Homo-oligomer: A and B are copies of this chain.
Amino acid sequence: MLDLQELLDRLVLENRFWCHQGKTAAYIPELSKQDPALLGISACDIHGRIWNAGDWQKPFTIQSISKVVSFICVLQDNSFDALTSKISVAPSSDGFNSIVNLETKNEHRPLNPMINSGAIAAISLVRGATLEEKFQRIFSMIKIMAHNDDLLVNQAVYLSEKRTGDRNRALAYFMKSTGGIDVEVDELLDVYFRLCSVEAACPDIARMAAVLACDGKSPWTGASLFAIKTARIVKAVMTTCGMYDGSGEFAVDVGMPGKSGVGGGIMAVSPRRLGIAVLGPALDQKGNSLAGWKMLQRLSGELDLQIF
């Protein structure tokens, strides 16, 4: 697949100008310092082979991409019915940190686990006697899926998020007040902030996506990391909810299950074919990497990766 290498190189080249159209996340000071001109991409096939281009070596914090793994763990640790009594799987037409629906809709349940409220609630439902155990369970899954045991939490970003995480505190306390979560909010958010602050590079995210492409099997060992059913649910929910209120457009433009993070990363899955990751810290107004989106749109077109 030399072609793929050429294609990725070309995509980075042709889409770099989009970096100037977006903005780095302003509300987390540490993230706003990122270089908006970065653009990288990695693709990992179902045999674990990997292709990279652009700034693929640049580490970044995975932010909301961690929500995918929290969701995987929570699906493994709960029956689907028990889970949906707490968090539903409905797309939201509001922003990623919206609180309105917790008051007005869906019996106070978060609409889905890909937005902040739902992800926070999801962590609380992961197996673990303590919140530290819950963190370790999800963080381990991240490292296993990324096939990289060296991943670490970026302390500066973590502290920055913790300092400025008042909107997430509002979400968590609201859910606590309605019985949606029943653990200590500060500790729960500490886990949430640490998971958002896990630092990885494009190849790590591409490998994580490849596990989803393989329906939960390791591309390297063939071992089942989680159930097929879990993988399918996760990809379905990524498709309808993964890009926040931009999910509908992403399905049209790119046509793959995807999940973005405000650190500039997007994970995309081509079922049974590829796991893909892009990095581009300049975001559009909905919090998705602008140049990354464009690059995925082109890649999907060239390789016919649309699932529809």
Contact = CB atoms under 8 A, between A and B. Distances in A.
Interface of A: 88-94, 98-106, 111-112, 166-167, 169-171, 173-174, 176-177, 185, 231-233, 235-237, 239-241, 245-249, 251-252, 255, 257, 271, 306-308
Nearest to A249: B89
B248 A308 contact: no
Contacts of A176: 166, 169
Given A100-B104, A103-B100, A252 B89 contact: yes
Contact of A241 (B89, B111, B237, B248): B248
Contacts of A106: 93
A176 B245 CA distance: 24
A68 to B, nearest CB: 13
A167 B105 CA distance: 16
Given A166-B177, A308-B307, A247 B240 contact: yes
Nearest to A174: B170
A-B complex: 7 closest residue pairs judged by Cβ atoms: A91-B91, A235-B308, A166-B177, A170-B174, A167-B177, A169-B173, A236-B251
Contact of A104 (B104, B251, B257): B104
5 contacts: A89-B248, A91-B241, A93-B106, A112-B248, A170-B170
Contacts of A100: 99-100, 103-104
Contact of A88 (B235, B248, B251): B248
Contacts of A236: 248, 251-252, 255, 306, 308
A91 B170 contact: no
B307 A90 contact: no
Contacts of A239: 239-240, 251, 308
A220 to B, nearest CB: 22
Contact of A248 (B91, B167, B169, B307): B91
A255 B105 CA distance: 24
A233 B98 CA distance: 27
Given A90-B247, A232-B252, 4 more contacts: A89-B251, A169-B177, A170-B174, A240-B240
A173 B166 CA distance: 5
